[in-house]
Every structure is written in C-alpha cells, then in structure tokens.
Amino acid sequence: MIRRGAHALAHLLTSLVLGPATFVWALLTTLVSGVLSFTYLAPPAFLLVTWMTRRIAGLERLRAALVLGRPVESPYSAPLRGNPWSRGRALVREPATWRDLAWLVLLFPAGLAGGLAGVLVGLVDLGTILAPVWLWAVPNPYLPPVVDWLFNTTGGRFVLTVIGLLLAPAVWWLVTTAARLQATAAAALLEPGPRQRLARRARELAVTRRRVVDAQAAELRRIERDLHDGAQARIVAAGMTLALAERKLRQTGQTAGADIGTARRQLDEALAELRRLVRGIHPPILTDRGLTAALAALAGDAPLPVEVRASELGDLPPAVESAAYFVAAEGLANAVKHAAAAACTITIERGGDTLSVAVHDDGRGGADATGSGLDGLRRRVEALDGTLSVTSPAGGPTTVRAELPCAL
Amino acid sequence: MRVVIAEDLLLLRDGLVRMLTDTGHDVVAAVASAPELERAVADQRPDVSIVDVRLPPGFRDEGLRAALAIRAREPRTPILILSQYVERVYAAELIADGQGAVGYLLKDRVTALDDFLDALERVAGGGTVMDPEVVRQLFARNTGDQGIAALTAREREVLGLVAQGLSNSAICAELVLAPASVEKHIGNILTKLDLPPSDDTHRRVRAVLAYLNQ
C-alpha cells in the first residue's frame, strides 16, 4: 500500500521534472535534424540523436514498468548494419522512432496534469498529517476563528492530523490513478505496436521454420546414411557370401554350410538394423496404440525402473504425439547414459490445449542443455510452438520438460 | 588379375577381398579412402581397381573424383566404380574421356558373381561396362529421340546390350541369336542413329553411350 503510493508519488514528481526536459530535447533535436537534413551531416547526427532518444525512452519504459508492475518491452528491431545513410533510412521507416518522440513531447503536458493533480494533493495531505511537526514554526496570524484554532494550537494541529489521515485513502487513490494513467499512456506509445508485434512474430516464425527445415534435412541425411552404411551394406555382404557358397557348390560340390550360416547371420543383422532405424523414425507402437502405451513400452525396455504417470490425454495431433514421445525417449536415454540414475519418472498430462511431458531422474545432473541430442529435441519442440526446458544442477536431479500446444 | 579395392565399409571390403581371392585373383591393396586409393594405384599399378563412389572424408563422390583424377594423370587406367545408387551423371563423367577401361555398376551386382567377374575382366581389358540400370535411364531420357524411335523392338534390345558394353558374342549368348543376325542388327542400329560403322567393340560402345548421353 504505502510502497505503491510512494512509487506513484515518485513517478509523478519525476514526470514533473522530466516532462519539460524531454520536451525541450525532442524539440531541439527535431529542429537540428531538420536543419541538418540538407547537409551531409544529417545521417550521423540523426543516428546519434536517435541513439540518445532511445536511451531516454528506455528510462521511460523502466519508470512505467515500476508503476504498472510489469515489464514494458522495447519495440526496436534488430541492430542496424550498413552505411549511415541506409541505417538512417531504416530508422526513419521504423514506427518506434516516431512513437518515442511523440511520448517525449507528450510527457510535458501529461506530467504537468498528473503532477498538479497528484503531487499537489498528495503533498498537501502529507503536510496536513504532519501538521504538529512543522506548523508551530510557521506563524499564521489573522486566520478565521476555527482555522485559527486548528493552525495555532497543539490540539488543533492533532485534529488536522486526523483529518489528513481520513482523507488519505482518497488521496492515495488519486495519486496512484494519476501515475497509472501516465504509465499506461507511456507504455501504449513505447511498447511494440500491433504492426511491430506482427513483424516480430513473423521473424520468430521464419527462424523456427528455417530450423525445422534444417532439422528435417539433417534427419533425412542421417536416415540415408544409416540405411547405406548399415542395412544395405549387410544385405550386399550376405549376397556376396551366398554367391561364393553357390559357386563352391557348383564347381567343387563341397559343402557350403559355414558360408550359408554366415549369410544368414548377416541378413539377421541387416533386419535388426532396419528395425532399429524404423523405431528411430517413428515407433510402430505409437501408431498402433497411442502415446501412453508407447511410453509404457519405452519404460518397459529401459534398464532401470521407470514410472510413467499419464492422465487422460484425449486426441492429439500426430506431430505433437511423436515429439512428446521423443522428448521422453531422449530424456530417458540421457538418464541411462550420462546421469547414472537409479530411477526415473515420466509425467505426461494435458491441461486444456497444452500437453506437458517431463522426464525426471535422480542421477548426477549437470546435463548439457546445448548438447546435440537436447538441441535436436528443442528444435523439434519449437517447431510446434512449444518450449523445452532442462534443469540439471550438478549433483542432480535432472528434469527435462516440454510444453506443447496441441489444439487440433 | 592384380586388383586394388577402395571401399570404406569394412564389411563390404572384406567381402570383396574374400570373393576375389576365392576366385583366384590377387588383391594387392584394400583401402578405405580416396587419398589411399590414389597412392595404392600409383604404387601397385594394378590390372584393375574397384572403387566405391562414396569414400571418406566427405562421403559424397570422393571415389569418383579420385578415379577421374587418376585417369587424368594416367589415361586408360582401368577402374570399375561401384555405387549403391545409380547416378547417370556420374556414369557420364566416367565415360566422357572416351578412353574406355571404365565401368560403372550397382553394388548389388557383385552378388551375381560370374557376371561381376566378367565385367571386371572387360574393364581390365580396356572395355566399357555400364550398369543395365544406367542404360535404362539413358533410354528413358531419349524417349522423344527420332533415331531411337526408328528402331525396332529387337534393335532396341540389342542397343541396350551394346550400351552395357557387351561384345557381339556376349550379345549372341544373351539373346540366343546367330552371330550374323546380331551383326545385321548392329549395322542397322548404327545406320539409323547415324553413328560411324565399326567392328571394334569398345569404340562402338563409346559411340553408342555418347549418343545416348548427348
């Protein structure tokens, strides 16, 4: 209560001081830029001025954030490159540049109004509450009778304190509202506008999409290599062995039992290799019986006790299902391989349109969240607009957690 | 024959070595990378080299590049390229120098042992060997070609075998035809495709491949 009031009052006070200053800054810089715009000094001057303006606007964002109790994002697009001319042009085209300037001009009247309403009333009330402390030092002759008693006697001054305290809630409301109005106006101008929000979202999507495409391509290359070096090579080798056996039989009539045995073993290995590869692409049980059953199977195959806690998940998009499965599989594999865990829990639940899957192990922790396995998972999850978090302090425990939006 | 093998997968390298030694050939070097291959060929001067298209370090077409480099330095060095997949472009690069003594086969063909050994002999003898799959692709490319369209079904069959690098006698055996009729077919084909008549098998194969690759 008191803190919010104090914040609000401080905000209004600083606005009163800053308003004229920023107004003068905005006016001067605009004038200077305007005059210089006909000379070759325009771009560097404009860049410098904008850089300063953005620092001031940043300060304004901080002030607004304090009052609003939430962060106020900065709207600027990525740092600029190129020569001063092209950078200047980019700045001119950026709406944020002009919105900053608009606020710096507006802060003057807004600060004045808020200051008069809030600060005056606030300070008068504060003075009234503290009357016994200071009124005796200020002589007030020639006052009307009642006021004279209030001002010039100790008892009266204490009555003033009571009156001030009674008025305090109303004053508190006025001060905080004035400050909040100011901060809201500041945020409205200084935060990313709808156009920038869209542009930013589009940029994010472009980045995640590129990552998805890259991850997909890498995955296909991996599959091709695995087929080429694994199953295909084994099958060819088995064919060679059989060809030799056949030749022996045909030419010399000697037995070829050993060769045929070798060929059979090579073919078995090729099949095992293919099965492993297929499971890595998309586990068949996921297709046949859904996520919960696939996770139970995963837990059953693990070399350590794994508990699966799954609630009713309903219908899930196949991409989400498979991403959730691989988050669990990778988390489990890491727990076995790196964490030396004794037990592991896989929790999967759906809250509305979000599916969350978490793998928790009691191992030694210290997992590298940027490692290739976890990074691949992150891409896969981000591609679906989800998030992946890894908490793994040294000494454990480790939790890998993914939140996946799953609106069908 | 003295043979050099370049294949990065141990399983297949050993298989090839075993197959060749069991059939009375002498494997003088079995290596796993392109630089090793170039050294082995320079040191050993084998009768023929069997080279996998894909070799370390890049696992792309290092084997083919090494083969082309070796033949650029030392023309007519016999090389048989093995590939898991057929790439017409690779085959074309291989026969582009028109020197012969090259082959391009699918890896799976090694299991047809006798055919494979026969192909190896032909490459060592300066011939050109093309995988039937490559020839099939060449035909598919030339579907709209006037010359090919003018051929009869039988002539097209013969042309396919010529393109694979078979000699007249091998074509006779394959199609169960008399030598005279095979010669007649080939004469007709060369006329229809406007190719120079020739009794030299290698030169004829090159001419046909060049025609199909144009």
In chain B, what residues touch A240 (CB-CB under 8 Å)?
Answer: 12, 15-16, 18-19, 110-111, 113
Residues B110, B119: Cα–Cα separation, whole Å: 10
Q: Are A299 and A315 in contact (CB under 8 A)?
A: no
Q: Are B9 and B63 in contact (CB under 8 A)?
A: no
Residues B39, B36: Cα–Cα separation, whole Å: 5
Closest residue to B11, CB basis, from A228, A237, A246: A237
**Length of chain B, please?**
214
Beta strands in chain B (DSSP E): 2-6, 26-31, 48-52, 79-83, 102-106, 128-130
- The answer to whether residue B107 neighbours chain A at the CB level (below 8 Å) is yes
N- to C-terminal Cα separation, chain A: 45
Tens of pLDDT, residues B15-28: 999 999 989 999 99
Tens of pLDDT, residues A244-289: 888 888 887 777 778 888 888 888 888 888 888 887 788 888 888 8
The interface residues of chain B toward chain A in range 118-177, judged by CB-CB distance below 8 A, are none
Tens of pLDDT, residues A237-247: 899 989 888 88
> Tokens for A231?
């199953």
Which residue would you say has higher pLDDT here, B45 or B100? B45
The interface residues of chain A toward chain B in range 209-248, judged by CB-CB distance below 8 A, are 225, 228-229, 232-234, 236-237, 239-244, 246-247
Whether B84 sits inside 8 A of A232 (CB atoms) is: yes
Residues B17, A382: Cα–Cα separation, whole Å: 49
Say which amino acid occupies A126: L
Q: What is the pTM of this model?
A: 0.63
Which residue would you say has higher pLDDT here, B7 or A216? B7
Tens of pLDDT, residues A381-391: 888 889 999 99
Q: What pLDDT does A157 receive?
A: 77
**Residue B142 Ramachandran class (φ > 0 left, ψ -120 to 50 alpha, else beta):** alpha
pLDDT band at residue A78 under the 50/70/90 scheme: low
SS3 A348: strand
DSSP code per residue over A116-141 = IIIIIHHHHHHHHHTHHHHGGGS---
Task: Say yes or no to pLDDT of B42 above 90.
Answer: yes
**Domain residue spans of chain A:** 2-190, 195-281, 284-405
Q: Looking at residues B70-92, what average pLDDT do you find?
A: 90
Classify residue A154 by burial, with Cβ atoms within 10 Å: 0-12, 13-18, 19+.
exposed
Task: Say yes or no to pLDDT of A372 above 90.
Answer: no
Best CA proximity match to A60, nearest among A103, A94, A29, A95: A103
The superfamily in CATH containing domain A284-405 is Histidine kinase-like ATPase, C-terminal domain (3.30.565.10)
Q: Are A394 and A350 in contact (CB under 8 A)?
A: no
Task: Say yes or no to pLDDT of B146 above 80.
Answer: yes
Tens of pLDDT, residues A3-24: 888 888 888 888 888 888 888 8
Closest residue to A239, CB basis, from B14, B108, B114: B108
Q: Are A182 and A190 in contact (CB under 8 A)?
A: no
N- to C-terminal Cα separation, chain B: 34
Tens of pLDDT, residues A87-130: 878 788 788 888 888 888 888 888 888 888 887 888 888 888 88
Residues B177, B162: Cα–Cα separation, whole Å: 14
SS3 A39: coil
Q: Which of B61-75, B95-109, B119-133 has the lowest mean pLDDT?
A: B95-109
SS3 A72: coil
- In the structure, how many helices (H) and strands (E) does chain B have? 11, 6
Q: Which residues lie closer than 8 Å to A276 by C-beta, 6 or more apart? A: none
Tens of pLDDT, residues A37-62: 777 777 888 888 888 888 888 888 88
What mean pLDDT, rounded, does chain A reach?
84
Maximum Cα–Cα distance for chain B, whole Å? 51
Q: What pLDDT does B35 receive?
A: 94
Beta strands in B19-123 (DSSP E): 26-31, 48-52, 79-83, 102-106
